[in-house]
Structure 1
Amino acid sequence: MTENNTNTITDGKYVELTYLVRDSTTGDVLTEVSRPLNYVHGVNEIMAPTITRELAGKTQGQRVDLLVDCTELYGPRDESLVVTEKVALVPREYRQVGTRILMENNLGEMKSFLVTKIEGDKITFDGNNPLCGREVIYQVKVLLVRDATADEKEYGGRVETDPATSPSG
């Protein structure tokens, strides 16, 4: 029995991972996902395709550090998505830097904006991905690699034990 084959990420393997994203210049942690994500390699992608490609051939327990140019992932910054308004025109609950707001454009499409600045009587919203224009390091920790079951391959990840139960509320 070759241990390598079972614990190596290849198509059809069930994978669990966690990751964090660091700014490559400052080293600051920008995002951290500590609750394991799962997927079936080659069936669905939970990470950007460039990252998923790099995970192929990695093994359980391995940490993978990937330098990623977010302009490639999210496209270049679009300054037309930066909007400045008078604070008085914005509902009080949105007047805090770091607040996310869903806004609708004139075509009825929803877009997420982040409050990035409040100066004097002006508030600025940015619809660009916060990582746009940055170079970051994805530090991916491969927690588990095993053969996926037929159900997992069909579903693309872990199948919940009782899909009939719906959350109450």
Structure 2
Amino acid sequence: MSDTIEDFKFVELNYRVVDVKTGDILRTVEYPLGYVHGANDVLSEEVQTHLKGKKAGDTIDIPIDVDKIYGPRDETLVFTDQIDNVPEEYREVGLTITMENEKGQTKNFIVTRMDDKTVTVDGNNPLSGRDVMFTIEVLSVRDATQEEIDCGGAVGADPDINEILK
């Protein structure tokens, strides 16, 4: 039994997304992420390629091309309006607001700025336009059970990092 990451191994890891320019940590997991390597698409193929052959205790840095993942930043998705035109429940920086267009399509916008007179919302992914590094710490590697292989990760888990890594 090998403790090296390869297909059908159950892997637990921690990660953080760091802004290369500022060094700020933009995202981090609150609990270890468990997945079955090669059995699902929780992590992008590029990230899985970098992880293959790593062992518990290894830490790797992977530059992420957010333009490739989300497309380039689109300034037409940034709107500023008078605060009086914005309902009070939407006047909180960091709040996600789901809006719908005339075709019934929805898009999430985040309140990014607010002052006494205006509120600004941004429909771009928060990582768009940034140069980011994905830092992964491998916590454990073991043979996956058949049940874990079938569901692609820890049984009963629901990891949600696709928005960052796909």
* TM-score tier (shorter): 0.7 to 0.9
1:62/1:142 contact within 8 Å kept: yes
**1:37: how far off?**
1.0
Give the AA of the match of 2:23.
G
Range that drifts further, 67-76 or 46-55:
46-55
**1:84 matched to 2:80:** yes
Shift in alpha-carbon separation, 1:108–1:72, aligned structure 2, 3 A: same
Aligned equivalent of 2:31 = 35
Q: Structure 2 CA distance, aligned partners of 1:132 and 1:48? A: 17
**1:120: how far off?**
4.7
Unaligned runs of 5+ in 1: 162-169
**1:52 matched to 2:48:** yes
1:39/1:45 contact within 8 Å kept: no
Give the AA of the match of 1:77.
R
CA RMSD of aligned residues (A): 1.7
TM-score scaled by length of structure 2: 0.87
1:19/1:34 contact within 8 Å kept: no
1:69/1:133 contact within 8 Å kept: no
**1:144 matched to 2:132:** no
Aligned equivalent of 1:167 = none
1:114-129 equivalent positions in 2, closer than 5 A: 114-129=110-125
**1:85: how far off?**
2.1
**Please, which of 14, 18, 22 is the counterpart of residue 22 of structure 1?**
18
**1:86: how far off?**
2.1
**Please, which of 106, 111, 116 is the counterpart of residue 110 of structure 1?**
106
Runs of 4+ in 1 over 6 A off after TM superposition: none
TM-score scaled by length of structure 1: 0.85
**1:122: how far off?**
2.3
**1:68: how far off?**
1.7
1:63/1:139 contact within 8 Å kept: yes
Unaligned runs of 5+ in 2: 158-166
Aligned equivalent of 2:64 = 68
Aligned equivalent of 2:95 = 99
Q: Structure 2 CA distance, aligned partners of 1:111 and 1:80? A: 13
Range that drifts further, 145-154 or 89-98:
89-98
Aligned pair count? 157
